[in-house]
Amino acid sequence: MVPSIGGSAKFPGLRLPGSLLEGFSQIQVSTLAIKDKLLVAGGFQGELICKFLDRKGISFCCRTTYDDNAITNALDIYDSSSGAVHFMSSNNDCGIRDFDLEKCQLCKHFHFQWPVNHTSLSPDGKLLVIVGDDPDGMLVDAHTGKTVHKLQGHVDFSFASAWNPDGQTFATGNQDKTCRVWDVRNLSKSVAVLRGNLGAIRSIRFTSDGRFMAMAEPADFVHIFDVGSGYNKQQELDFFGEISGVSFSPDTEALFVGVWDRTYANGKRQLAFDSDLQKLPAKANET
């Protein structure tokens, strides 16, 4: 998989005591994650850069691997059961890695049979949804890496996943132009199949209250679903541009969409929506 966002960024003074491997001064960014005041950037050569936005300098950096297929495809930041801040990287070298940020330490490294495109940790921290260059996704034990169940139904490679905050349902996005919703209480088949218009489902997000789910296609279309309606009620956002990702605001009042279009605009759009999923005018924040 080649991530849908990119760019070059320079980070001065990266030869830090906390580095696991030799430092570096410039990376081509393939993916970003942010939670609270922590930003983590992943690079095309397996680089990881961590910065607290309220502190000076870089907090942590390393290169996960020197493998030729080192692209960092996705990042997930979370608080461990001990309260320590961790983040997890999904890489093209078929591995996922869990880091303790405060200790600048690699805690876990699970290896699989295919490149991992996305990983999502369950709200209780016990299960991982793992998807990648295989039609079947996996639900695995977050502590041991042991497979709990194979997720069968998609017919192509998967690029996205997300947990509903209820901890019982989660979603996977695939190149077959569908998003499938699963229930951990019965994994024999997906409970819903949601279809896109144009291409692969590359980004999925739930609101913090679990009422809505958004899924983004590679370009032009974002779909918002009412979870309480069994995903039968939806709002479709239609615009011009390639989509790098989507994210709901913590208060669930706005949806942010990263958009790139060489003709009309580059930047981000802040989109409002209501509980009836009626399409509202976009409030554009474009650069």
Q: Which stretches of the chain score pLDDT less than 50?
A: 1-22, 279-287
Query: pLDDT value at position 82?
Result: 86
Q: Kindly state whether residue 99 falls inside one of the protein's structural domains.
A: no
Radius of gyration (Cα) for the chain, nearest Å?
A: 18
Q: Kindly state whether residue 281 falls inside one of the protein's structural domains.
A: yes
Q: Kindly state whether residue 272 falls inside one of the protein's structural domains.
A: yes
Pairing mode of beta strands 203-206, 192-195? unpaired
- On whether the pTM is more than 0.75, the answer is yes
Query: pLDDT value at position 272?
Result: 53
| Residues in contact with 122: Cβ distance below 8 Å, sequence separation at least 6, in sequence order | 128, 129, 142, 163, 167, 170
Q: Kindly state whether residue 105 falls inside one of the protein's structural domains.
A: no
Q: How far apart are CA 287 and CA 274, in angstroms?
A: 26
Q: Kindly state whether residue 268 falls inside one of the protein's structural domains.
A: yes
Query: pLDDT value at position 264?
Result: 59
Indicate the number of domains in the chain: 1
Query: pLDDT value at position 280?
Result: 41
Q: How far apart are CA 24 and CA 20, in angstroms?
A: 12
Q: Kindly state whether residue 261 falls inside one of the protein's structural domains.
A: yes
Q: Kindly state whether residue 238 falls inside one of the protein's structural domains.
A: yes
Using alpha carbons, list the distances in angstroms from residue 65 to 13, 82, 95, 101, 266. Answer: 21, 28, 10, 18, 32
